[in-house]
Structure 1
Amino acid sequence: MTDPEEGRKRALLSRIACSVAFQKSQRARELLEYLGRRSIEDPEHPPREHDIGVAVFGRPPGYDTTQDTLVRVQASHLRKKIEQYFEEEGREERLRVRLAKGSYALQFYEHQPGLDPAAPAPFLARHPRLGWVLALLLLAVCAALLMWNRRLESRLEAGLGPHPSVDRLWRQMFANGHQTHLLLSDLGLLPLQDALQHHVSLEQYQNRGFGALAEKEIADPVLRSAVLSFFNRYPTTIADATAARRLGILFALNGLPLDVLSARDANMNMVSGGNVVLLGSRRGNPWVGVYENQLNFQTVFTEPPRRASFRNSQPLPGEQPEYPVEWSRIGYCRVAYLDSLKGGGTALLISGTDVNSSDAGVEFITTESWVRQLRQKLGAGSGPTPHFEVLLKTYLARSAVSRFELVSVRRK
Structure 2
Amino acid sequence: MNRLLAHSLFTNSKRYPVLLAYTVEQTLLGNASELKERTIGVEAFGREPVYDVNLDPVVRMTAAEVRKRLSQYYVNPEHATELVIELPVGTYVPCFREPAHHLMESAVPIEGAEHAESLREDLLSPVLPADSQGAPPRLTVRHGIWIAAGLIMAAIIGFGVARTRFSGPPTTPGQRTNLERFWEPITATSSRITYCLGVPIDAVDLQTRTIPAIPAGENGSLNVYDVITLARSIAPLVPKNGEFRVLAASDTGFAQLREGPSVMIGAFDNPWTMRITQDLPIGFEFDNHVRKVVDRKSSPKGIWTLQWQVPGKSVARDYAVVARLHDKVTGEPVIILAGILGEGTEAASEVVSNPAYLDAMLQKAPKNWDQLNLEAVIEASVIEGHPGPPTVVAVETW
TM-score norm. by structure 1 comes to 0.50
The runs of 5 or more residues in structure 2 that have no matched partner are 1-154, 170-176, 309-314
Q: 1:255 to 1:167 in 2, by over 3 A?
A: farther
Corresponding position of 2:213: 209
1:333 equivalenced with 2:340 (yes/no): no
Q: Is the 8 A contact 2:226 2:342 kept in 1?
A: yes
Q: 1:238 to 1:339 in 2, by over 3 A?
A: same
Q: 1:400 to 1:238 in 2, by over 3 A?
A: same
Q: Is the 8 A contact 1:292 1:298 kept in 2?
A: yes
1:173 Cα deviation after fit: 4.1
Corresponding position of 2:178: 165
1:343 Cα deviation after fit: 5.8
Corresponding position of 1:243: 229
Cα deviation code 1:101-152 (max 9, x no counterpart): xxxxxxxxxxxxxxxxxxxxxxxxxxxxxxxxxxxxxxxxxxxxxxxx9998
Distance 2:231 2:294 in 1: 31
Q: How does 1:71-86 map to 2 (within 5 A)?
A: none
Corresponding position of 1:285: 270
Match of 1:376 among 352, 356, 363: 363
Percent identical pairs in the alignment equals 14
Q: 1:258 to 1:311 in 2, by over 3 A?
A: same
Corresponding position of 1:309: 292
Q: Is the 8 A contact 2:326 2:334 kept in 1?
A: yes
1:271 equivalenced with 2:257 (yes/no): yes
* Structure 2 counterpart of 1:362, one-letter code: S
Cα deviation code 1:156-185 (max 9, x no counterpart): 464223652212321244413322100111
1:344 Cα deviation after fit: 4.8
Cα deviation code 1:264-284 (max 9, x no counterpart): 110012235521111101x20
1:176 equivalenced with 2:189 (yes/no): yes
Corresponding position of 1:322: 303
Cα deviation code 1:301-336 (max 9, x no counterpart): 246xx42212221225xx763112124011100111
Distance 1:343 1:302 in 2: 27
- What's the secondary structure of 1:201's corresponding residue? coil
Q: How does 1:226-237 map to 2 (within 5 A)?
A: 232-237=218-223
Distance 1:152 1:404 in 2: 20
Match of 1:297 among 282, 292, 296: 282
Distance 1:402 1:376 in 2: 20
Distance 1:157 1:247 in 2: 13
* Structure 2 counterpart of 1:324, one-letter code: T
Q: Is the 8 A contact 2:266 2:339 kept in 1?
A: yes
Q: Is the 8 A contact 1:333 1:392 kept in 2?
A: yes
Distance 1:358 1:399 in 2: 12
Q: Is the 8 A contact 1:279 1:285 kept in 2?
A: yes
1:191 equivalenced with 2:178 (yes/no): no
Distance 2:273 2:159 in 1: 33
* Structure 2 counterpart of 1:161, one-letter code: S
* Structure 2 counterpart of 1:336, one-letter code: A
| Two-structure CA RMSD over aligned residues (Å) | 2.9
* Structure 1 counterpart of 2:279, one-letter code: Q
Q: Is the 8 A contact 1:186 1:262 kept in 2?
A: yes
* Structure 2 counterpart of 1:410, one-letter code: E
- What's the secondary structure of 2:221's corresponding residue? coil
Distance 1:245 1:151 in 2: 6
* Structure 1 counterpart of 2:195, one-letter code: L
Q: 1:192 to 1:255 in 2, by over 3 A?
A: closer
Q: Is the 8 A contact 1:378 1:409 kept in 2?
A: yes
The number of residues matched between the two structures is 231
Distance 2:382 2:269 in 1: 19
Distance 2:243 2:157 in 1: 23
Distance 1:288 1:400 in 2: 23
Corresponding position of 1:43: none
Q: Is the 8 A contact 1:335 1:390 kept in 2?
A: yes
Q: 1:184 to 1:157 in 2, by over 3 A?
A: same
Q: Is the 8 A contact 1:334 1:361 kept in 2?
A: yes
Query: Larger Cα Rg: Structure 1 or Structure 2?
Result: 1
Distance 1:401 1:209 in 2: 33
Q: Is the 8 A contact 2:283 2:295 kept in 1?
A: yes
Match of 1:365 among 352, 355, 360: 352
Distance 2:156 2:283 in 1: 42
Q: 1:150 to 1:238 in 2, by over 3 A?
A: closer
1:294 Cα deviation after fit: 3.3
Match of 1:259 among 234, 245, 255: 245
The runs of 5 or more residues in structure 1 that have no matched partner are 1-148, 212-227
Q: Is the 8 A contact 1:336 1:388 kept in 2?
A: yes
Distance 2:231 2:338 in 1: 17
Distance 1:337 1:154 in 2: 24
Cα deviation code 1:330-353 (max 9, x no counterpart): 110011111133565201111200
Q: Is the 8 A contact 2:348 2:390 kept in 1?
A: no
* Structure 1 counterpart of 2:208, one-letter code: S
